[in-house]
Structure 1
Amino acid sequence: MSRRGWILFGAMCVVWGIPYLLIKVAVREIGPAELVFLRTALGAVLLLPIALARRELRASLRPWLPLLVYTVVEIGLPWLLLSDAERHVDSSFTGLVIAGVPLVAAVIARLANRDERLTAARVGGLLVGFAGVALLLGFHAAAGGAVPMLELGGVVVCYATGPLIIERWLSSVPRYGVAAASLIVGALMFTPVAGPNLPDLARHVTLRPLLAALALAVVCTALAFVLFFALIAEVGGVRATVITFVNPAVAVVLGAVVLGEDVTLLTGVAFALILAGSVLATRRRAPDPEPAPEPVAAA
């Protein structure tokens, strides 16, 4: 990759590695629904001018039903489940569970597309990766309870399904238009629930959770979309998805350093299994070499 590509890649690894830490801090005083509303509303305010300037918003609203489903699956439901789960489990643990997204995405891709081959290496990768997830969930289930584990499982399924919706029904829709429109729809969805609680929240929330919520909206949502689209344009969509394998490591390090969360040997083993399984399960087969051109006789 170019130097610009590496810079964008490093920035994205950090920007999408810190939400788990910020969510953990924010939900100490801000409810899950209110936090999702703040994140979507502020993110929409920042991205809407870009989408309007690029004249991409109107085009994104035409496929309104896929856009609505994408908003629920990729933003509304997972962000709510994630925020509620982190009231009970560590941010580093959350980041490691989310590392299982490529594994579930590989299974969903196979179910949705019969032409998507499951080679022996990919099947082995799925088994290894899911073994790591099972080890992680089993070890932490007693401490966090069953409900947060189920919520995180729902987040993984949602995050694995969202890109499929984009690929199937929104691939021709401009990216900034989809991002801005989905955040607007997400904010509208949570307004009836979060709106009545905002005045009381404004009076009682302290500075640290408030700053965490603002950072989620500005850095991990609006700025993240801008950087990710720039990364895709620079290195391509396939290489851009490699950040999925790095984000959990960032989440673990930040959770340990900033919040003092425990990182055990078992955590490292589980992460290694999930990472190795994800790489194997999502690895594409090298394309067959093109045949050499037939020699042309001189005239």
Structure 2
Amino acid sequence: MNRRAWILFATVAVLWGIPYLLIKIAIEDLSPLIVVFGRVAIAALVLVPIAAAQGTLSSLRRHLGPITFLGLVHIVGPFLLITYGEVHISSSLTGLLIAIEPVLIALLMLRAEPLTRVRGAGLTLGLVGVAVLVGLDVSGDRLGLLGAGMVLLATLLYAVATVYVQRKASDVPPTALVAGTTTVSTLVLAPFAAFNLPTTPVSGGSWAALLALGLLCTAVALLAFYRLIGEAGPGRAGLVTYANPVVAVLLGVAILNEPLHTSTILGFALIVAGCWLSTRPTRSASPRPSTESAAPVEVGAASR
């Protein structure tokens, strides 16, 4: 990768690694529902004008069904689950659990990709890594287990939506796709948010965290990610998935004083090894083009 690609890579890694810290700060004074609504509304306000300026919004007319589905499954569901989950678990553990997404995508694509010994070993390692994190970090804590379960369910929804994008919305321009899904999410959440407005004073830190979540971690991160794909290709851009949890853990430990256990390091190492093995391309005597391999670089990954 060239210098510009490395700068974009580092930018996206940081912007996708800090949401879990910012969520933790925001929910001190704001309800998880308001945090999610504010985040997607801010992102939509930024992304819709950009997509309009590019002339890509018209492409959404032919894809209203997929856009609505993705708004619910790739944004509303995961955002709510992750934000409510962080009420009970640390931001660093949240970031590590979400790193299992490539393994879940590989599981969902078993019919399209043959299960070789290497891929099978990768899937097993990744799942063992999750078991280590959950079993040792929140063992005996019912609320902690609930929070971890919510985050893992959110990660599964991310994986489902990623595969769905490949199959149903791969021809939608990326900026239009994300502008559409964030707008749908905003409209869906608005009625609920109206009845959950803050009734007590909200600190400037919580408002600032919410603004950063929508503006930096969603809108700006999306734009940087697509530039990264253009500079380095989708394969290399997808490697940013392995860097995000490191940022999340470092910030959680340094700023929120969250504990760093040996099990955390071991679990993350197993997950990374599992992701790498389970997503390695399979060799074929007569390779054929496939649309399956291009998209696990998640079109909506910046919704993290």
TM-score normalised according to structure 2 size: 0.90
User: SS of 2:140's equivalent?
Assistant: helix
Quote the Cα distance in structure 2 between the aligned partners of 1:44 and 1:67.
14
RMSD: 1.5
Tell me the CA shift for residue 171 of structure 1: 0.6
Name 2:90's counterpart in structure 1: 90
Match of 1:245 among 236, 239, 242: 242
Pair 1:115–1:108, CA change in 2 (3 A): closer
The superposition leaves residues 130-149 of structure 1 with CA deviations (integer Å, 9 ceiling, x where unpaired) of 10101111121423433212
Could you list the runs of 5+ residues in structure 2 that have no partner in the other structure? 288-304
Quote the Cα distance in structure 2 between the aligned partners of 1:53 and 1:166.
23
Name 1:284's counterpart in structure 2: 281
Could you tell me which amino acid in structure 2 is paired with residue 16 of structure 1?
A: W
Quote the Cα distance in structure 1 between the aligned partners of 2:34 and 2:186.
10
Pair 1:162–1:196, CA change in 2 (3 A): same
Match of 1:220 among 194, 207, 217: 217
Q: Note the 1:64-79 alignment, pairs <5 A.
A: 64-79=64-79
> Quick check: 2:94–2:148 contact (8 Å CA) kept in 1?
no
The superposition leaves residues 160-194 of structure 1 with CA deviations (integer Å, 9 ceiling, x where unpaired) of 11211111011111111011111110000100110
Q: Note the 1:150-229 alignment, pairs <5 A.
A: 150-198=149-197, 200=198, 204-229=201-226
Quote the Cα distance in structure 2 between the aligned partners of 1:205 and 1:276.
42
Name 1:10's counterpart in structure 2: 10
Q: Note the 1:13-162 alignment, pairs <5 A.
A: 13-110=13-110, 114-139=111-136, 140-143=138-141, 144-162=143-161
The superposition leaves residues 205-226 of structure 1 with CA deviations (integer Å, 9 ceiling, x where unpaired) of 1111111111000100110110
Tell me the CA shift for residue 120 of structure 1: 0.4
Tell me the CA shift for residue 287 of structure 1: 6.4
The superposition leaves residues 216-253 of structure 1 with CA deviations (integer Å, 9 ceiling, x where unpaired) of 00100110110111111111112111111111111000
Quote the Cα distance in structure 2 between the aligned partners of 1:71 and 1:17.
22
> Quick check: 2:134–2:145 contact (8 Å CA) kept in 1?
no
Could you tell me which amino acid in structure 2 is paired with residue 26 of structure 1?
A: A
Could you tell me which amino acid in structure 2 is paired with residue 102 of structure 1?
A: P
Quote the Cα distance in structure 1 between the aligned partners of 2:167 and 2:123.
24
> Quick check: 2:105–2:160 contact (8 Å CA) kept in 1?
yes
User: SS of 2:239's equivalent?
Assistant: helix
Tell me the CA shift for residue 255 of structure 1: 0.3
Quote the Cα distance in structure 2 between the aligned partners of 1:167 and 1:22.
30
- Deviating above 6 A after TM superposition, structure 1's stretches of 4 or more consecutive aligned residues are none
The structure having more radius of gyration, on CA atoms, is 1
Moved more, 233-242 or 250-259: 233-242
Tell me the CA shift for residue 289 of structure 1: 9.1
Name 2:299's counterpart in structure 1: none
Match of 2:271 among 274, 284, 295: 274
Pair 1:288–1:9, CA change in 2 (3 A): farther
> Quick check: 1:109–1:116 contact (8 Å CA) kept in 2?
yes
Quote the Cα distance in structure 1 between the aligned partners of 2:114 and 2:236.
20
Could you list the runs of 5+ residues in structure 1 that have no partner in the other structure? 291-299
> Quick check: 1:129–1:277 contact (8 Å CA) kept in 2?
yes
Tell me the CA shift for residue 266 of structure 1: 1.2
- In the comparison of the two structures, how many residue pairs are matched? 285
Name 2:227's counterpart in structure 1: 230
> Quick check: 1:61–1:181 contact (8 Å CA) kept in 2?
no
